[in-house]
């Protein structure tokens, strides 16, 4: 008997029974004591199924005192079900059009299980709320196609809209990984047109066709070096370090933020906050610096400092033109 079949036979043996003796288990499953010992460890430790030995009854039974309930192959306590349901509600709010329908059957089952224990799962919908800023509309069909190609390791032919110049370009890409960043979905991929790693916003993909060709595999070390070395979503190998200082007032907020995993930071004697982050493309970093207005000063490198000054001058000129 295959191992997975035995697991379901254990379930049938214990269902509706006060207890089952060791000899009955060995006989009905046609297994040795050693196999039973291994199965028992797997049921308890890996599948989290509460099988206990009852000395008074002289056999094995399912422990019911911890209020656990079963999903196929898994057992959950009330706290675990509540945690899982909370995550589901968060995912449904995060991307309702993409993941919500797929999770609905499991969510309904969890609702029923919690209700049987006197817990109102619907309260979560009222008590857990995600607020999105700058979230762009995503087409489910294209998201699913990109996801399928990424997981199945297939090339994709896409029509990609470049928001910077307004042009749409046909490309063949080999998707490497999906990225959810600042409320939007992206795919890191090898672009066969540009012969390099690129990052594509999935909402900017107008057409998407999965090809019957294996995707080009890029080593994870190379992806990490090129895609995550610098600040933000834009990748590149020419990494520089931005040096900024924030006022003591702004430091109370910024000092609690992580701008980059490799950032360096120190506090000044006056309470100011010096922050250094690596970047390879200044576009996103520039926007994040400007939102702090007069409470941040860029110390270097010179090119980044000049870009900030230029952006401020242009903004001032626009406001002055309305006077």
If you write DSSP's letter for every residue of 50-74 in order, what string do you get? Answer: -EEEETTTTEEEE--TT--EEETTE
**pLDDT of 235 over the 80 cut:** no
Within 13 Å, how many C-alpha atoms sit on residue 102's CB side?
8
CATH number for the domain that contains residue 194: 2.30.30.530
Averaged pLDDT score across all residues of the chain: 84
97 inside domain: yes
Q: What is the enclosing helix (H) or strand (E) of 179?
A: strand 167-181
**Enclosing domain of residue 186:** 140-227
End-of-domain residue from the set 44, 65, 86: 65
Residue 64: predicted pLDDT: 66
Residue 219: predicted pLDDT: 93
16 inside domain: yes
Residue 96: predicted pLDDT: 57
Nearest alpha carbon to residue 10 among 50, 64, 68, 45: 50
**pLDDT of 146 over the 70 cut:** yes
**pLDDT of 178 over the 80 cut:** yes
End-of-domain residue from the set 28, 46, 65: 65
**pLDDT of 97 over the 60 cut:** no
**Residue 89 to residue 93: CA distance in whole angstroms:** 6
- pLDDT confidence tier of residue 75, bands split at 50, 70 and 90: low
Contact by Cβ (8 Å): 68, 49 = no
**Residue 218 to residue 196: CA distance in whole angstroms:** 10
11 lies in the same domain as 49 = yes
Task: Pick the range with the lowest mean pLDDT from 42-56, 214-228, 236-250.
Answer: 42-56
190 lies in the same domain as 116 = no
**What are the start-end ranges of the H helices in 95-189?**
100-115, 123-127, 140-152
**Residue 28 to residue 266: CA distance in whole angstroms:** 68
**Residue 170 to residue 65: CA distance in whole angstroms:** 61
Task: Pick the range with the lowest mean pLDDT from 16-30, 68-82, 156-170.
Answer: 68-82
End-to-end CA distance of the chain: 85
Tell me phi and psi for residue 58, to 5 degrees: 75, 30
Helix, strand, coil % over all residues of the chain, rounded to 5 = 40, 25, 30
**pLDDT of 208 over the 80 cut:** yes
What average pLDDT does the segment 188-196 reach? 95
12 inside domain: yes
163 lies in the same domain as 218 = yes
What average pLDDT does the segment 295-301 reach? 97
Q: Which tops the pLDDT comparison, 1 or 211?
A: 211
61 lies in the same domain as 84 = no
The number of beta carbons lying within 10 Å of the beta carbon of residue 183 is 14
Rg of the chain in Å (alpha carbons): 28
How, if at all, do strands 196-201 and 184-191 pair?
antiparallel
What average pLDDT does the segment 11-40 reach? 86
- pLDDT confidence tier of residue 135, bands split at 50, 70 and 90: confident
**pLDDT of 15 over the 60 cut:** yes
216 inside domain: yes
- pLDDT confidence tier of residue 5, bands split at 50, 70 and 90: low
235 inside domain: no
172 inside domain: yes
**pLDDT of 65 over the 90 cut:** no
Task: Pick the range with the lowest mean pLDDT from 4-18, 230-244, 283-297.
Answer: 4-18
Task: Pick the range with the lowest mean pLDDT from 4-18, 215-229, 249-263, 281-295.
Answer: 4-18
Entry pTM: 0.67
71 inside domain: no
- pLDDT confidence tier of residue 271, bands split at 50, 70 and 90: very high
End-of-domain residue from the set 183, 198, 227: 227
**pLDDT of 174 over the 80 cut:** yes
Contact by Cβ (8 Å): 157, 172 = yes
What average pLDDT does the segment 199-217 reach? 94
| Tally of residues, the chain | 323
How, if at all, do strands 296-300 and 240-246 pair?
antiparallel
How many domains, in total, are found in the chain? 4
What average pLDDT does the segment 151-167 reach? 93
Nearest alpha carbon to residue 181 among 150, 203, 157: 203
- pLDDT confidence tier of residue 78, bands split at 50, 70 and 90: low
């Amino acid at each position: 008997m295959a191992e997975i079949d035995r697991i379901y036979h254990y379930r049938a043996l214990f269902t509706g029974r006060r207890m089952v003796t060791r000899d009955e288990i060995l006989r009905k499953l046609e297994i040795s004591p050693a196999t039973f010992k291994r199965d028992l460890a797997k049921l308890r430790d890996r599948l989290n199924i509460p099988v206990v030995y009852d000395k008074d009854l002289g056999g094995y039974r399912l422990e019911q005192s911890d209020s656990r309930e079963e999903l196929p192959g898994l057992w959950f306590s009330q706290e675990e079900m509540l945690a899982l349901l909370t995550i589901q509600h968060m995912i449904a709010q995060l991307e309702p059009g993409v993941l919500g329908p797929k999770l609905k059957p499991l969510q309904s089952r969890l609702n029923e299980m919690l209700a049987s224990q006197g817990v109102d799962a619907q309260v979560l919908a009222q008590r857990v709320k995600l607020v999105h800023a700058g979230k762009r509309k995503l087409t489910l069909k294209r998201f699913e196609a990109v996801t399928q190609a990424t997981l199945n390791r297939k090339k994709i032919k896409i029509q990609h809209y470049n928001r910077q110049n307004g042009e749409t370009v046909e490309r063949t890409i080999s998707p490497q990984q999906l990225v959810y960043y600042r409320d939007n979905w992206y795919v890191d991929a090898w672009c066969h047109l540009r012969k390099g790693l690129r990052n594509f916003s999935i909402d900017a993909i107008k057409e998407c066709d999965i090809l019957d060709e294996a995707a080009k595999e890029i080593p994870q070390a190379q992806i990490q070096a090129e895609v995550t070395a610098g600040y933000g979503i834009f990748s590149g190998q020419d990494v520089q370090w931005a040096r900024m200082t924030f006022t003591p007032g702004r430091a109370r907020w910024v000092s609690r933020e992580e701008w980059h995993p490799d950032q360096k930071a120190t506090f000044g004697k006056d309470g100011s906050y010096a922050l250094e982050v690596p970047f390879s493309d200044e576009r996103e970093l520039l926007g994040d610096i400007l939102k702090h207005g007069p409470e941040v000063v860029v110390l270097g490198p010179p090119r980044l400092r000049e870009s900030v000054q230029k952006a401020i001058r242009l903004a001032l000129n626009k406001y002055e033109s309305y006077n």
